[in-house]
Amino acid sequence: MLSYTEAFTLIQEQFQKIKLETETVHIEDAFHRTLAEDIISDINLPPFDNSAVDGYAVKYDGKITEWEIVGEISAGNFTEIKLTKNNTVKIMTGAKIPENCTAIIPIEDVEIENNSLKLITDSKYIKGMNIRNCSTDISFGEIAVTKNTYLKSRHLASIASCGKNNIKVFKKLKFGILATGDELIPVNEKPKDDKIRISNTYSLIGEVQDVNQEYINYGIVKDNKEIIKGKAHQILKSDIDILLTTGGVSVGEYDYLKDVFEELGVKKIFWCAFIKPGKPCYFGTYSKGNKTKLIFGLPGNPVSSQVNFKVYIKENVKNLFGIENTPQIKAELLNDLKKEDKKRHFMNGILKRVNDKYFISSKFSQSSGNMVELSKANCLIIIEEEHLNPKKGEVVKCIPM
Interface residue list for Mg ion (CB under 5 A) = 181, 247-248, 300
Piece of the chain touching ligand AMP by CB under 6 A; list 118-126, 233-241, 293-301, 351-359: 293-301
When the beta carbons of 250 and 366 are compared against ligand AMP, the nearer one is: 250
Nearer to Mg ion, 247 or 297 (CB): 247
Which residue lies nearer to Mg ion by CB, 248 or 280? 248
For the bound state, the minimum distance from the C-beta of residue 346 to Mg ion, rounded and expressed in Å, comes to: 22
Q: 3-state SS of 386-397?
A: CCCCCCCCCEEE
Compare residues 53 and 244 and give the one whose CB is closer to ligand AMP.
244
Query: With binding defined as CB under 6 A, does residue 196 bind ligand AMP?
Result: yes
Cβ contact 157:197 at 8 Å: no
Question: What is the closest distance, in whole angstroms, from the C-beta atom of residue 317 to ligand AMP in the complex?
Answer: 21
184 binds, among ligand AMP, Mg ion, none (CB under 5 to 8 A by kind): ligand AMP
- Specify burial of residue 326 (Cβ count, 10 A radius: 0-12, 13-18, 19+): middle
Cα three-residue angle 59-62-66, rounded to 5 degrees: 70
Q: What is the dihedral of CA 55, 58, 63, 68, to 10 degrees?
A: -90
Residue with Cβ nearer Mg ion (278 or 300): 300
Task: Pick between residue 54 and residue 255 the one whose CB is nearest to Mg ion.
Answer: 255
Contact partner at residue 94 from Mg ion, ligand AMP, none, CB < 5 to 8 Å by partner kind: none
| Residue 183: contacted member of ligand AMP, Mg ion, none (CB under 5 to 8 Å, by partner type) | ligand AMP
Task: Choose among Mg ion, ligand AMP, none what residue 277 binds, the Cβ cut-off being 5 to 8 Å by kind.
Answer: none
Identity of the residue, 213 or 306, whose beta carbon is nearer to ligand AMP in the bound complex: 306
Distance from C-alpha of 212 to C-alpha of 150, rounded to nearest angstrom: 11
Amino acid of residue 276: K
Establish if 198 lies at the interface with ligand AMP (CB under 6 A).
yes
Report, in Å, the least distance between residue 256 CB and ligand AMP.
Answer: 10
Encoded one letter per residue, x for contact with ligand AMP by CB under 6 A and - for no contact, window 229-258 reads -----------------xxx-x-x------
**Residue numbers 343-382 binding ligand AMP by CB under 6 A:** 369
Stretch that binds ligand AMP, among 36-44, 52-60, 297-305, 312-320 (CB under 6 A): 297-305
Please state the closest distance from residue 32 (CB atom) to ligand AMP, in A: 28
Strand duo 344-354 + 275-276: pairing: parallel
Among 34, 51, 158, 200, binds ligand AMP (CB under 6 A): 200
Binding residue (CB under 6 A) for ligand AMP from 34, 41, 245, 301: 301
- b/e for 110-148, b at 16 or more Cβ within 10 A? beeeeeebebeeeeebeeebbbbebbebbeeeeebbeee
Closest alpha carbon to 249 in 241, 258, 240: 258
Of 100-108, 159-167, 195-203, 208-216, the segment contacting ligand AMP by CB under 6 A is 195-203
Q: How far is the CB of 343 from ligand AMP (least distance, A)?
A: 17
Q: Is the peptide bond before 280 cis (omega within 30 degrees of 0)?
A: no
Give yes or no for a cis peptide into 46 (omega within 30° of 0). yes
**155-163 contacts at long range (C-beta below 8 A, 24 or more positions apart):** 155/35, 156/27, 156/30, 156/31, 158/39, 159/27, 159/30, 159/39, 160/27, 161/41, 161/45, 162/39, 162/40, 162/41, 162/42, 162/43, 162/45, 162/138, 163/41, 163/42, 163/43
Q: Is 302 in the site for ligand AMP (CB under 6 A)?
A: yes
For residue 122, give every residue at least 6 positions away whose Cβ sits within 8 Å of its Cβ, in sequence order, or none. Answer: none
From residue 165 to residue 184, the character string flagging contacts with ligand AMP as x (rule: CB under 6 A) and all else as - is --------------x-x-xx
- The distance from CA 312 to its chain's CA centroid, rounded to whole angstroms, is 16
Q: Is 351 within 8 Å of 329 (Cβ atoms)? A: yes
The residues binding ligand AMP (CB under 6 A) are 179, 181, 183-184, 196, 198-201, 246-248, 250, 252, 299-302, 369
